[in-house]
C-alpha cells in the first residue's frame, strides 16, 4: 500500500513531531506519529515523501537515521522496523524555474540524448548542492524523468476521460460521453505547459 507524505506540510521544525510523535511535555504526547504509526500497522508499505526538499532540515536528519538503520523510535519509545518498506523521495530540484534556462523543453517534443544529459547534469548538481553527501549516499538511485511530451498527454487525457465514464456508470447517471478527437487535441493544447507537464 502506498502511503504519501506531502513534505510541504513539514516545513517547520516542530513538524517532526507529526511524523514520530510529540516529545514528553508537549501537546499531543502519548500519540504515535503519522509515519511511525502507519509503518507499525503496515510494515510492507511503500512510502512516498513528495517534494522532500520542502521539508525542514531536521526531517532530513530523521531520514538519514531511517535510511541508515532501517528503523525509527517514536516519541513513546517504540522501535519501528522499516526494513520491509520501499522508500521513494520526489523532488523538483534542478528543474528550471524559467523555461528559457532549457530552451529545448519549450517545444513539447521528445528531447534528445544530449538534451537529456544537460537536464540530468542540472538536476544532479542541484541535488548535490542541496542535500548532504551522507543523505545522497544512502539513496540506491536517483532517477530523472524526461519531461512529458504533447503526444503522451493524449494518453493522460484518455485516462481521465475513462475515469469520468466509470464514475458516471457507477453513479447510474445516464449520460454517454462521446468526445471528438479534435476536442481531445484541444484539451491537450490547453493543458500543456512545457514547464509543468500534465499538472
CA distances from 32 to 13, 41, 117, 121 (A): 18, 11, 44, 40
Contact at 8 Å (CB) between 195 and 105?
yes
Mean of per-residue pLDDT scores for the chain: 86
Query: What is the C-alpha to C-alpha distance for residues 118 and 77, in angstroms, rounded to an integer?
Result: 47
Contact at 8 Å (CB) between 14 and 59?
no
CA quadruple 105, 107, 110, 113: dihedral, nearest 10: -50
Contact at 8 Å (CB) between 60 and 136?
no
Cβ atoms within 10 A of the Cβ of 74, count?
19
pTM recorded for the entire structure: 0.79
Question: pLDDT at residue 99 above 60?
Answer: no
The domain limits of the chain are: 2-89, 93-147, 150-191
State the cell numbers at 96.
Answer: 528550471
Per DSSP, the three-state class of 142 is coil
Q: Tell me: the pLDDT tens digits for 164-189?
A: 989 998 998 888 888 888 888 888 88
- CA neighbor of 89 nearest in space, from 162, 26, 152, 142: 142
Mean local confidence (pLDDT), 90-99: 74
Mean local confidence (pLDDT), 101-110: 63
Q: Tell me: the pLDDT tens digits for 136-169?
A: 999 999 998 877 777 788 888 888 889 998 999 8
Question: pLDDT at residue 24 above 90?
Answer: no
CATH superfamily of 2-89: P-loop containing nucleotide triphosphate hydrolases (3.40.50.300)
Residues 6+ apart with CB under 8 A from 121: none
Please state which of the ranges 6-10, 46-50, 195-199 shows the lowest mean pLDDT.
195-199
Amino acid at each position: 500500500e502506498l502511503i504519501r507524505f506531502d513534505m510541504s506540510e513539514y516545513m517547520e521544525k516542530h513538524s517532526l513531531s507529526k511524523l514520530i510523535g510529540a516529545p514528553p511535555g508537549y501537546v499531543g504526547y502519548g500519540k504515535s506519529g503519522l509515519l511511525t504509526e502507519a509503518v507499525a500497522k503496515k510494515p510492507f508499505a511503500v512510502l512516498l515523501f513528495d517534494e522532500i526538499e520542502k521539508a525542514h532540515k531536521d526531517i532530513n536528519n530523521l531520514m538519514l537515521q531511517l535510511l541508515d538503520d532501517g528503523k525509527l523510535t517514536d516519541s513513546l519509545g517504540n522501535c519501528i522496523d522499516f526494513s520491509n518498506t520501499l522508500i521513494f523521495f520526489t523532488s523538483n530540484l534542478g528543474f528550471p524555474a524559467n523555461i528559457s534556462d532549457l530552451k529545448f523543453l519549450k517545444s513539447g517534443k521528445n528531447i534528445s540524448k544530449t538534451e537529456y544529459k544537460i537536464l540530468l547534469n542540472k538536476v544532479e548538481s542541484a541535488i548535490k548542492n542541496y542535500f548532504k553527501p551522507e543523505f545522497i549516499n544512502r539513496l540506491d538511485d536517483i532517477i530523472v524523468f524526461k519531461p512529458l511530451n504533447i503526444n503522451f498527454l493524449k494518453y493522460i487525457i484518455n485516462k481521465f476521460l475513462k475515469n469520468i465514464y466509470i464514475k458516471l456508470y457507477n453513479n447510474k447517471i445516464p449520460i454517454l460521453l462521446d468526445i471528438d478527437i479534435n476536442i481531445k487535441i484541444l484539451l491537450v493544447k490547453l493543458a500543456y505547459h512545457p514547464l509543468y507537464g500534465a499538472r
